[in-house]
Structure 1
Amino acid sequence: MITDVSSRIQQLSASVINKIAAGEVIERPASVVKELLENSVDSLATRIDVEIENGGAELIRIVDNGEGIHPDDLELAVASHATSKIISAEDLFQVRTMGFRGEALASISEVSMFRIRSKQADQPLGREMEVHGGLVKEPQACGCPDGTQIEVRELFFNTPVRRKFLKTQSTEFAHISEQFTRIALANPSLHLTLRHNGKLVHDLPAASDLRERLELFFGSELANNLITVEAEHAGTRIWGFAGHPNQHKGTRKNQYLFLNGRWIQDRSLQHALGEAYRGLVMVGRYPVAFLFLEMDPEQVDVNVHPTKAEVRFQDSQVLYRLLLSSIRNRFLSMDLDSKFSLDKRPDDNLPPQSTRKDSQLLQQELATWAKQQLEQRRSEEIANEQGPGQLPFPVTADPVSSPVHDADEPELLQDNWPPAPASSSSGGPAVSSHLTDIAQTHPASPAAEIRAMQVHDCYLVVETTDGITVIDQHALHERIMYERLRERILAGSVEIQKLLIPITVDLPARETGILLDQTDLLNELGIQIQDFGGNTIALVGYPRMMAKADPQSLLQDVVELLESSGRKVERRDLIDKMLHMMACKAAIKAGQRLSLEEMESLLAQRHLCDDHHHCPHGRPTALKLTRSELDRQFGRLG
């Protein structure tokens, strides 16, 4: 409690000063890992082993085979502002090491149970020292291999408020893994390992090619779609990889910028990167990049941020233009259309059998949906006749945990991502009968007599009593799927397709942690996942309505949505955003050809929606042209 004495200026104790400094440098376990990894890199280590327990709250152990610390310097290593990397103020503008302030070990040892062991190659024995919450114990001789081993236990044990603000184990480990990833990308020649709760997460042997390491962290699909970038001007060099424009993401988290081996954030360079992709990436999407800047340390000030994540360039405009021109020139020398064409017409490159199969699946899905709506309408009529006390609609599925399908289902054995269930072997007649029943239930519906055609495999042109209506097939189906998903979730009756063989998806550790933290939310939406170990997520169940969605793409979109939503978003708003995304993934796409029966079924469902005029994102689903407007355009009036 603050007393009246606080109104007078007081000299703070060394312990309080160190705790304040620790608050600036050590925000969470990942901050400890970052500082210790940077020290190991500066020690010229060729191998670094990282071991974590309980997301770093219980244990952080880092072992390297670097140069080690001289026995007489061990106590100075945990003293404030004691460093071997600079001597004078002028040295701040010649910094070539990761660390230089001499604050890290002092800050860490102030808020943890800290132990350090170190041995230099020319010394017969090593030296060990413990620091408990800032209280330094006498160093002791010990036997240990060359290099340094640091253990940080019970982080923030003496600052309970800070410890209380730690997130879940998976979240904290995701942040740790992100720091590990940055160091690993900046130093591909290092052999690095990472363990969490005894499980080996990463074992990265030294690599001569950065692309090999990128593939380990981000997967082969992204690694195979990277474009080499290299440029140099006036002693400043930029090199690395920029993602193909089709490898865009929902956030900037996959834009890695390194300056002289140090990961940095710089808005100007991020803006230059965005400008380089202008016109190639949709608004709201961000390119992937792994870029390395090499320049004279005198041209940059790295001492402007507590964690050294932000820097100040002497001439940022030169860097801006160099980055922009290097990527743009690279694009101009390439034929990007060959890959873009894959996204325009997905059916063009598929064999006729695949196209027919997709068409049949869509037909089955639409027919099933129409049948369910019919049964629900009939049940409502029966319930009204029976009076109060009866269920207003039939229970067609158990709550979220059902249905579990039998092991002998051929779809599950042949394909890990099974198609939607078939509703009728006759296809067309079944759909037609559903439409007839729907028309009888809703006699006022204009879908009773449908005259429609598809244009550019994207729009449906429908004749109406007073003109024509042009419908965006994706936007309309997206609205239908959104309302269907929302209704099922509110009723707690999402039909789950259980997988006998789970689908495993490899994601960056940061994204894995985000998904595992939101397991309850995903279960509510019918997406069932499990931790498969390392950076792998196992998808064990999903909504049957999402049968045609790609699992990896689905989980990737979920992660991006969770990341972009921020911490303060309301749960219901987050669920609604998730429904928007899921409906978009499940809906038919532009460029997908529909049969007459599919068009009729889709148009019949249109009038079952609460708002069939707009898709969940607010775009119109249809444009109307009245007969009088058509007559006026063709000069038939008067």
Structure 2
Amino acid sequence: MGEIRVLPEEVSSKIAAGEVIEGPHSIVRELIDNSLDAEAGQIKITVNNGGKDYIQVTDNGRGMTEADALLSVQKHTTSKISDIEDLNTIATMGFRGEALSSICTVSAFTMLTKMEDGNTGTKLTYCFGKELSSEPAASNTGTQVIVKNLFQNMPARRKFLKSNRAENAKIKDEVLKKALGFSERGFVYKADDRIVLNLKPGKNISERVEDIFGKDLNDNLFEVYHEDEKFSLRVFISNQKHTLSNRNGQFVFINRRPVFDRALLYTLNNPAKGIVQAGRYIYAFVFIEIDPSIIDINIHPAKKEIKIKTAEKIRSVLFSNVERLLRTHYYPARFGSQETYTVSSEYGEGQRVFSGGTSILRGTELSESFASGSPDIFTGPVVNGIEFDDVSDGAALGPADKLADNENRIPGPDNIIPDLDNLLFFRGVVFNTYIVFEARDFLFIVDQHAAHERVLYEKFKRGAKNLDAVKNLLIPINFTPPRAKYADYLDSIDAFRGAGLELEPFGDESFNITTVPAFVPEKGEEEAISYILDEFNNGKMTPDAREIKERFIKLVSCRSAVKEGDVVKEPQARVLLRELNNTQIPAVCPHGRPTFIRVSKENVEKVFKRR
């Protein structure tokens, strides 16, 4: 007798059901999808014990006839598609015809449904895939589905369900995402006799966000809209007042379907680096409407993932629009238009107080100009053949009326870097890292490395006339990527070339790098390339020319900046603070760390129990 056998129907149906139904939240998701496709205006979800014992989803949609109700719980029956071509133009939430039959296989299932023009409704019962029956019953227009005793016939699966609280949280997340995607529909979610969400039909996404997350977040969301031939993009992001320590406040919808797309989420968060503080994440609501013919949603059992033919174009548009929103709106102006502050232009020369450091990427020209305390710090240097304009607003230490011309400047926390002469008294540097100034009612503490890094980064970004220039390496740098990444490097050769790295295949396993960006310091090429390749190998960087170049600029800025332990005297400290005040984004370094903090006298007195 052979080893291969046909599985009994009971076994194969349970296996199939297990792929679609992960837990109570999966059932709620699939039933809501059916309600949405039935054009329901109001959907009510009720669960007990985390949905393990009882789930009820009721809607006021179109309802079904008895014949359709009986067909709907059979395998691969659906009203959404009829032939293979329909898979190329799916515009509904559901389409496979698997959900109801899978639910019936692992639960005690009851459906009550009625069409608007029907004289009576239909009650259908199907217990763990057995004993299907139907009968006439009184019913309102629409459909009600009740699911009891989930996985009772699959003890191994049931024991792996989480606590009631955890399962309720998953269900809430599913309801919340559907409610965001369909703001014109009403949703009520009730768990163990407690109303968790009660969302009335709204006019737009802003009303729905306010109902779920509160008025304050909605008031601090900023919107951008882009329309292309094949797609449209609408993005809402929060400002500095509303951030999270995780990405739980970020949602992506494609044709109103919530999706999880790592590349899109990466693109969404990448512009925030250097603007949003490290370890914090913005709230974001991304709505993409796209021609169904250029997407494939039939790649994941739960329809969470999606393939897009024009993914690269969408990511590019998303990046540029999010970056523009962050640069113009992330830091709210608390004091109206007062975005700049009076600074003095006269500080004397200071002595050189630190050596060049140990990193071979350390830019000596920039470091020495900072150490000199010169008023023309960073103005018009030539670094490794890259010429810089005088890009400060007016002179580097120019008067306030010149600083006010910088329309794109993003103010820092509390929108203030104080008047250096009239408010701040230099009190020294602690731990050879933090510059301390004292004002009448607060301390102003500056991280000397982070602040200098921000200044250098913006000089590179704004001042270089030829950042696209490359230099040829006399001796190519050879590297062998991990075997699993070799194909990725082959596919990304054009992206690396656009960032100044020319990759040439060398043999079957390695590459030679023959050029690097011209602004990378001499003798620092290997360190810079090693950093970029490590980031790519570890999945921390996408193969995008703009992003690769950005990483180079950040690296050179970091290595060129004054370091922890370098001694900084008062003249240099004041020049650094003035240059920081002259940047577009003074509050954080290019990596998102704070450049300064304010400690109020009141808080200090509270620590010492004086208040």
Fold similarity call, TM over 0.5: yes
Number of equivalent positions: 369
Are 1:343 and 2:413 an aligned pair?
A: yes
Corresponding position of 1:535: none
Q: For residues 599 and 48 of structure 1, what CA distance do their matches in structure 2 show?
A: 51
Corresponding position of 1:317: 312
Please list the CA deviations of residues 59-116 of structure 1 after superposition, one character each: whole Å capped at 9, or x if unmatched: 1001111111221122211111111111111111110000000010011110001001
**SS of equivalent residue, structure 2 residue 161:** coil
Please list the CA deviations of residues 512-552 of structure 1 after superposition, one character each: whole Å capped at 9, or x if unmatched: xxxxxxxxxxxxxxxxxxxxxxxxxxxxxxxxxxxxxxxxx
Pair 454,238 (structure 1): closer, same or farther in 2 beyond 3 Å: closer
Match of 2:36 among 16, 35, 41: 41
Corresponding position of 2:598: 591
Pair 330,142 (structure 1): closer, same or farther in 2 beyond 3 Å: same
**Do the aligned residues in 2 keep the contact of 1:56 with 1:172 (CA within 8 Å)?**
yes
**Do the aligned residues in 1 keep the contact of 2:80 with 2:95 (CA within 8 Å)?**
yes
Match of 1:58 among 48, 53, 59: 53
Match of 2:239 among 244, 255, 280: 244
Q: For residues 233 and 132 of structure 2, what CA distance do their matches in structure 1 show?
A: 47
Pair 224,460 (structure 1): closer, same or farther in 2 beyond 3 Å: closer
How big is the alpha-carbon RMSD for the aligned residues of Structure 1 and Structure 2?
A: 3.0
Corresponding position of 2:175: 180
Pair 591,106 (structure 1): closer, same or farther in 2 beyond 3 Å: same
Please list the CA deviations of residues 245-296 of structure 1 after superposition, one character each: whole Å capped at 9, or x if unmatched: 4422211111100010100011111121112323211223222111110011
Pair 596,93 (structure 1): closer, same or farther in 2 beyond 3 Å: closer
Corresponding position of 2:505: none
Corresponding position of 2:303: 308
**SS of equivalent residue, structure 1 residue 48:** strand
**Do the aligned residues in 1 keep the contact of 2:275 with 2:327 (CA within 8 Å)?**
no
Gaps of 5+ in 2: 335-409, 419-435, 449-595
Q: For residues 161 and 594 of structure 1, what CA distance do their matches in structure 2 show?
A: 60
**Do the aligned residues in 2 keep the contact of 1:344 with 1:591 (CA within 8 Å)?**
no
Q: For residues 301 and 292 of structure 2, what CA distance do their matches in structure 1 show?
A: 18
Are 1:211 and 2:225 an aligned pair?
A: no
Shift of 1:182: 0.6
Q: How does 1:531-546 map to 2 (within 5 A)?
A: none
Pair 136,82 (structure 1): closer, same or farther in 2 beyond 3 Å: farther
Pair 230,459 (structure 1): closer, same or farther in 2 beyond 3 Å: closer
Are 1:96 and 2:103 an aligned pair?
A: no
**Do the aligned residues in 2 keep the contact of 1:78 with 1:106 (CA within 8 Å)?**
yes
TM-score (norm 1): 0.54
**Richer in helix (by share):** 1
Shift of 1:218: 1.3
Are 1:17 and 2:87 an aligned pair?
A: no
Corresponding position of 1:264: 259
**SS of equivalent residue, structure 1 residue 137:** strand
**SS of equivalent residue, structure 1 residue 37:** helix
**SS of equivalent residue, structure 1 residue 592:** strand
Q: For residues 174 and 460 of structure 1, what CA distance do their matches in structure 2 show?
A: 41
Q: For residues 87 and 596 of structure 1, what CA distance do their matches in structure 2 show?
A: 68
Shift of 1:299: 0.8
**SS of equivalent residue, structure 1 residue 338:** coil
Match of 2:152 among 157, 160, 181: 157
Please list the CA deviations of residues 314-361 of structure 1 after superposition, one character each: whole Å capped at 9, or x if unmatched: 12101101111222334455584615757347999xxxxxxxxxxxxx
Q: For residues 123 and 53 of structure 2, what CA distance do their matches in structure 1 show?
A: 20
Shift of 1:220: 2.1
Are 1:190 and 2:260 an aligned pair?
A: no
**SS of equivalent residue, structure 2 residue 86:** helix
Please list the CA deviations of residues 571-610 of structure 1 after superposition, one character each: whole Å capped at 9, or x if unmatched: xxxxxxxxxxxxxxxxxx94114499969979xxxxxxxx
Corresponding position of 2:128: 133
Specify the code of the residue in structure 2 equivalent to 1:149.
Q
Q: For residues 30 and 202 of structure 1, what CA distance do their matches in structure 2 show?
A: 15
Q: Percent identity?
A: 33
Q: For residues 595 and 202 of structure 1, what CA distance do their matches in structure 2 show?
A: 40
Are 1:72 and 2:32 an aligned pair?
A: no
Shift of 1:225: 0.8
Q: How does 1:382-421 map to 2 (within 5 A)?
A: none
Specify the code of the residue in structure 2 equivalent to 1:44.
E
Q: For residues 133 and 59 of structure 1, what CA distance do their matches in structure 2 show?
A: 14
Please list the CA deviations of residues 198-246 of structure 1 after superposition, one character each: whole Å capped at 9, or x if unmatched: 2222221111022121122112222111001210112310114111244
Specify the code of the residue in structure 1 equivalent to 2:122.
R
Specify the code of the residue in structure 2 equivalent to 1:46.
G
TM-score (norm 2): 0.56
